[in-house]
Amino acid sequence: MPAHLHPVKVRFYELDPYGHLNHSVYVQLFETGRIELLDAVGLGLSDLDERGYRFVVTNIETAFVKSVEAGDSLTVETEVVETRRASSIWRQRILRGDDVMATQQVRAAITNSNGRPTRAPVELADALAPFTADSDT
């Protein structure tokens, strides 16, 4: 499976009162994984914005599989499921070693700087191709 990998370490202030990673932090870690993938292909958020494009999250589905605790070393795994005319779908996992701790799928609209849906630039699909899942998965 082609995926971008981003390492993170859980910090104590990200914990809930029970000593587990707060559910809202998972969403932040997943977002960081997507941003790091875009940076890695030379299309960071500021690069896209300068070209007049933005990603706007329209749907998030997150599953919390196992608890994460302070000091855990994690990897955010990110791949693109598809890039359509004016949207994209991203699939992500947070791993601790080989253990899946959480999963997420995100749909993001591609808009212009005024927030109107717009056709994805060809360069976007080309840049994301190495991290795009096979249609069989």
Q: Residues near 116 by Cβ (< 8 Å), separated by ≥ 6?
A: none
Q: Is residue 38 situated within a structural domain? A: yes
Say how many CA atoms lie within 13 Å of 128 toward its Cβ.
26
What pLDDT shows up at residue 1?
A: 52
Q: Which domain holds residue 86?
A: 4-127
Q: How does pLDDT run along the chain (137 residues), one tens digit per residue?
A: 589 999 999 999 999 999 999 999 999 999 999 999 999 999 999 999 999 999 999 999 999 999 999 999 999 999 999 998 999 999 999 999 999 999 999 999 999 999 999 998 888 889 999 999 874 44
Q: Residues near 123 by Cβ (< 8 Å), separated by ≥ 6?
A: 43
Q: What is the pTM of this model?
A: 0.91
- Our count of domains for the chain comes to 1
What pLDDT shows up at residue 122?
A: 87
- CATH number of the domain at 56, please: 3.10.129.10
What pLDDT shows up at residue 11?
A: 95
What pLDDT shows up at residue 111?
A: 95
What pLDDT shows up at residue 137?
A: 41
Q: Is residue 134 situated within a structural domain? A: no
What pLDDT shows up at residue 136?
A: 46
Q: Is residue 29 situated within a structural domain? A: yes
CA distance 119 to 26: 30
Q: Is residue 19 situated within a structural domain? A: yes
For Cα atoms 13, 31, 3, give the angle at the middle one, nearest 5 degrees: 120
Q: Is residue 25 situated within a structural domain? A: yes
Q: Is residue 79 situated within a structural domain? A: yes
Q: Is residue 94 situated within a structural domain? A: yes
Neighbours of 120 (CB within 10 A): 18
Q: Is residue 135 situated within a structural domain? A: no
CA distance 52 to 95: 34
Helices (H) and strands (E) in the chain, counts: 3, 5
